[in-house]
Amino acid sequence: MTTTVTISDGALAVGEARPCDGAGAWVSFEGIVRGDEAGRPISALVYETYEPMAQRVLTSLGEELASRHGLLAVHVEHSRGRVAVGGCSFRLSIASAHRKEALAAMDEFIDRMKRDAPIWKRPQWAVTPMSA
């Protein structure tokens, strides 16, 4: 089993499936920056992270879920810095022998990452023309 974590500046490149021996399922989730935050228009999200701790938390989480769900590989990518609306800021890819294990692990990983990882987002509000 392999867990990899990458935190990189700006939007993430378009992903590709990474074959894994024994995998019957390769499940990927991409988090895309929406055009609004709390009902207000934004132009981007700016991500800050305490990277050493984020690396440890995400790696540990991937390894824990891999052990519990029998996963073959977990790949985590997260942005830091500015990601414009429409850009990908997070990608989680999981390989497993069967889809149910991968889907269950993916849902749990995302919920726990949002709760436990030291990664914060700050909206960059869109400039709107003043009404006359």
Would you list the domain boundaries of the chain? 2-11+24-125
Q: How confident is the model at residue 130 (pLDDT cuts 50, 70, 90)?
A: low
The more confidently predicted of residues 59 and 13 is: 59
pLDDT in the model for residue 17: 66
CA nearest 12: which of 115, 110, 86, 107?
86
User: Cβ of 10: how many Cβ atoms within 10 Å?
Assistant: 15
Q: Tell me: the pLDDT tens digits for 73-114?
A: 999 999 999 999 999 999 999 999 999 999 999 999 999 999
Where does the pLDDT of residue 131 fall: very low under 50, low under 70, confident under 90, or very high at 90 and above?
very low
How does strand 71-84 pair with strand 25-32? unpaired
- Determine the Cα–Cα distance for residues 47 and 119; give it in Å rounded to an integer: 7
pLDDT at residue 30 tops 50: yes
User: Which candidate, 126, 119, 132, places its Cα nearest to that of 58?
Assistant: 119
- Kindly list the distances between the CA atom of residue 121 and the CA atoms of 40, 45, 103, 105, 125, in Å, as whole numbers in the listed order: 15, 6, 25, 24, 12
Q: Which fold has domain 2-11+24-125?
A: Aldehyde Oxidoreductase; domain 3 (3.90.1170)
